[in-house]
Amino acid sequence: IIAGSCVINNYIDRDIDPYMERTKNRPTVTGNIKPSVTISIGILLLIVGFTFMAFTTLMAVVYAFIGAFTYIVLYTLWTKRNYTLNTVVGSISGAAPPLIGWAAIDANLHPIAWMLFLIMFIWQPPHFLALAMRRSEEYRRAGIPMLPVVYGFEMTKRQVMIWVLCLIPLPFYMQALGLPFIIFATILNIGWVILGLYCYKQKDDQKFSKLMFIYSINYLTLLFMSMIVFTISF
């Protein structure tokens, strides 16, 4: 389902992808794959994905549909090209997998599942806004109204810090994963805040975006690995 959604995203964005260094060599841009073939592959992958998902639970299918619809329609077709809130809207689809995975086993979602959703949802804006700062000129050329393009770096940095601060209380609602996890997750959250404040005071926009982006990747990896380690060990 994710693969199908991404392929359809490539089909839709083939007019703006040439302006982005990260996407300019996609087969949909170079012409190695025809648009008609691209959209056919995307639809086929969605059909196969939802068919397999139907063998789990109805709620897993519902959450998967919400994720795919949000990514393709609400994000790619609508907000990405029109509003700076596109990052927030896209974060809904990016945060759907924990709900889908949990619902595939138990349709009655445990509060922990929603906390996983919130972690993924809140994590994405600071991650992608930091990336957008690094790629702001490319987004400008492509005509994508990312926050740093429309409102500048200062506003973007403040938004990044606000989203990071919103992560701090979440571990305390995940007591089922144990005290060691709560402590570790809190350390990660505080570390991200301290790094952000340090970079903010340095008045170096590129340093801020680079370090915050790198920390965000390692943050998510360590956080989810720790959920496995601590629940097995304790």
pTM above 0.75, yes or no: yes
| C-alpha dihedral (232, 96, 123, 3), degrees to nearest 10 | 100
Residue 225 pLDDT class (50, 70, 90 cuts): very high
Torsion region of 33: left, alpha or beta (phi above 0 gives left; psi -120 to 50 gives alpha): beta
Q: Report d(CA 218, CA 93) in Å as an integer.
A: 21
Tell me the pLDDT tens digit for each residue of 182-214.
999 999 999 999 999 999 998 899 999 999 999
Tell me the pLDDT tens digit for each residue of 52-64.
999 999 999 999 9
Give percent of the chain above pLDDT 90. 97
Tell me the pLDDT tens digit for each residue of 68-112.
999 999 999 999 999 999 999 999 999 999 999 999 999 999 999
